Amino acid sequence: MFKFLLICTLAVASRAEVAEEEDVLVLKKSNLEEALKAHPNILVEFYAPWCGHCKALGPEFAKAAGTLKAEGSAVRLGKVDATEETELAQEYGVRGYPTIKFFKGGEKESPKEYSAGRQADDIVNWLKKRTGPAVDTLAEVTEAESLIADNEVAVIGFFKDANSADAKAYEKAAETTDDIPFAITSDDAIFSKYEVSKDSVILFKKFDEGRNTFDGELTKENLLAFVKSNQLPLVIEFTEQTAPKIFGGEIKSHILMFLPKTAPDFQDKMDQFKKAAEGFKGQILFIFIDSDVDDNQRILEFFGLKKEECPAIRLITLEDEMTKYRPESETITAEAIIGFCKLFIEGKLKPHLMSQDIPEDWDNTPVKILVGKNFEEIAFHPSKNVFIEFYAPWCGHCKQLTPIWEKLGEKYKDSADIIVAKMDSTANEIESVKVHSFPTLKFFPAGDERIVIDYNGERTLEGFTKFLESGGKEGGAPAGDDDDDLDAEDLDDVDEGQDTASDGEDDEHDEL
């Protein structure tokens, strides 16, 4: 008996080692397995103490944890300091902060990536959809009122027969939607409360027109398109909280209005922007960015804008490649914006490529200075082998490379056929070369074939020299087009609200 009691006591003590902070489990490599035994479903945030995005998420994460705990939910939230628990972070492929993963059913292997917003309601709703029924059944008016009151967006299916074909299609749509609660009702009192006289699907929201009623053939695909078109405001402000919804959504064409909230005509321009948005629901996402906010300055830089140049309108596509468009007129009226968007949808716009003016002394130094306006002429010169560093002024890795790159330029400054050059890719864009991270090093060998070779070797003077002397073979990747793979993480601070896992010393590049 004593032995049995001792074992039980040790087991309880072991579980007690999983500490909590504001209802969030503090997880480590040493207690993760024990935590999953006690709480099979845990949403885990991998964070860094210095990460600004993690600090912004913290209160919302704790609020979500408290909500679930108060409701008696078995689902828990946990956090891992990835700068301390480096083995655990590496095991789960943590590349940036915060990274959020859902461990379900006590399984440690292959947790699911969290894919919704970063506000408490978003987190709670996502977890409920992942662990409970896809559709809640509403039997009383008070239940429907609570659902609508407690959520920014909620969808209710009004079906007299909950087993009808339309109701089944509704359930299938609900199963594939993580971040919005779906409910179903056959109750006459609820029908009457919301003035519904026949089978319908209604999306309730706390913005714009307040509710949208589905119209058309009720299929899973049509319902999902309906929800996608109406779940976000006509104009959504870019913040750390809304970034995941903006960039993680299915609408990949975004028009952005850069405007300070302090502008005397702010509301007038916002009204014009919102009026234009009405005709492009489900096609183009209309986003407002406060150009006075310090955290938004990297976004302005990404579009080649300065605060004093705002208000301004830009359009970007995030499909296979990021492509930017600029209106001919900077006039911000509903008519001008509608016309600009129509030209885009009709495929009649040419991409806007940023370029600085060519410096007068661009070729006076060993490392030649390239901009958009002289890039083609120099990079694809038929008799020159051109080695180019694509950099960002703020990139720590680029700064570390500078003295080595200058030595390389000095080594080949008198060469008849080798040019060492650099280009600021935050201020210059090239249609033929896409840069996703900094520094990016590319070699343009002499000839008329317009070949581009990525450099993947050591970033040393010796490594660069071997590469050039071998004609781009020693340390080079296979010749061909630039890698077109771009995921949400690669956009980093520009959009995702995520800090890279590197502190600037270990990783080989800074993300765009």
List, by residue number, the catalytic residues. Answer: 51, 54, 395, 398
**Separation between Cα atoms, residue 131 and residue 435, nearest integer Å:** 40
Backbone angles phi, psi at 391, to 5 degrees: -130, 170
| Class of residue 69 by CB neighbours under 10 A (exposed 0-12, middle 13-18, buried 19+) | middle
- Outline where 117-219 has alpha helix (H): 120-131, 141-150, 165-175, 188-193
Backbone angles phi, psi at 508, to 5 degrees: -90, -10
Residue with tokens 């991998």: 46
- In the Cβ-directed half-sphere of 205, how many Cα atoms lie within 13 Å? 18
Backbone angles phi, psi at 226, to 5 degrees: -65, -45
Q: What DSSP line would sit under 325-372, residue for residue?
A: E--S-----HHHHHHHHHHHHTT-PPP----PPPPTTTTSSSSEEE-H
Residues 6+ apart with CB under 8 A from 191: 158, 185, 197
| Class of residue 48 by CB neighbours under 10 A (exposed 0-12, middle 13-18, buried 19+) | buried
- In the Cβ-directed half-sphere of 446, how many Cα atoms lie within 13 Å? 10
Residues 180/125, Cβ–Cβ less than 8 Å: yes
Residues 400/392, Cβ–Cβ less than 8 Å: no
Closest CA to 366 of 392, 387, 393, 397: 387
Backbone angles phi, psi at 139, to 5 degrees: -110, -15
